[in-house]
Structure 1
Amino acid sequence: MAGEPQTDCLFCKIAAGEVPADVLRETETTVAFRDINPQAPTHVLVIPKAHYRDAAALAAAEPALTADILREAGEVAAEEKVVGTGYRIVFNTGSGAGQTVFHAHAHVLGGRGLNWPPG
């Protein structure tokens, strides 16, 4: 069921503390941790603790939780000191867009020039 932890989901396991991660922030509804394959000097993932397959499913089911993720992304950017130089928040939705873990998550990227358009 949407929103319920999935036993085969890496990010559900990280949210539950069953798999180690370099956690920077945690709230009642979200967890923020460093990406293990960073694409920029700052590359942090912000995930909901509830399981939704992708950003579209999350936004349709829980707009307030989607806002929590965006708020936390801003807090991560402030703590990582990339607000002044700029940062990007990216949601990859679907394998064709580069989503490899099918648990909604935002990438917070910064610390270097981020050309547009990406990829």
Structure 2
Amino acid sequence: MSDDTLFAKIIRREIPAEIVHEDEHVLGFRDIDPKAPVHVLFVPKKAVATLDDIQPEDAELVGRMVLAATAYARAQEFARDGYRVVMNCREHGGQSVYHIHLHLLGGRQMTWPPG
């Protein structure tokens, strides 16, 4: 995987982003094209292109992404009302940046099925 993706550049601070979470493994920042009042992306600092590229040794990393997102939802006080977590895989799944990322969407009623 290339370390030259948009998200890799954000992680390296080469492109500005509104960062709302950072730890040793995960960076969280607001989506520039939000689909809900709260739309934050959580990305691993380790470059992994797609969900299909995740290896068994990445299980803890993916768990850390989920834990960061749920902690953010609780801290921002919208967890009680509910939220959605989405990970897309490749073109037909809606993935546009080939660096895995988790979308946290909240602040409104979500509908089903999604688009």
TM-score by length of 2: 0.93
**Aligned Cα root-mean-square deviation (Å):** 1.4
The secondary structure found in structure 1 opposite 2:54 is helix
Does 2:76 align with 1:80?
yes
Aligned partner letter, 2:92 = G
Task: Give the fraction of aligned pairs with identical amino acids, expressed as a percent.
Answer: 38
Name the counterpart of 2:110. Answer: 114
1:60 CA drift (Å): 4.2
| Alignment partners' CA distance in 2, 1:39 and 1:82 | 16
Structure 2 gap segments, 5+ residues each: none
| Paired amino acid for 1:96 | H
Q: In the alignment, is residue 64 of structure 1 matched against residue 60 of structure 2?
A: yes
For residues 25-104 of structure 1, the aligned pairs below 5 Å read: 25-58=21-54, 60-104=56-100
Say if 1:32 and 1:44, in contact at 8 Å, map to a contact too: yes
Could you say what secondary structure the match of 1:62 adopts? helix
The 5 A counterparts of 1:6-21 are 6=3, 8-21=4-17
Counting matched residue pairs gives 115
**Offset, 1:16:** 1.3
- CA shift digits 1:69-106 (9 cap, x unpaired): 00001012112321011001000111111111010000
What do residues 19-50 of structure 1 show as CA deviations (whole Å, max 9, x unaligned)?
A: 11000010000000000000000000000001
4+ runs of 1 displaced by more than 2 Å?
Answer: 58-61
TM-score of the superposition, structure 1-length normalised? 0.90
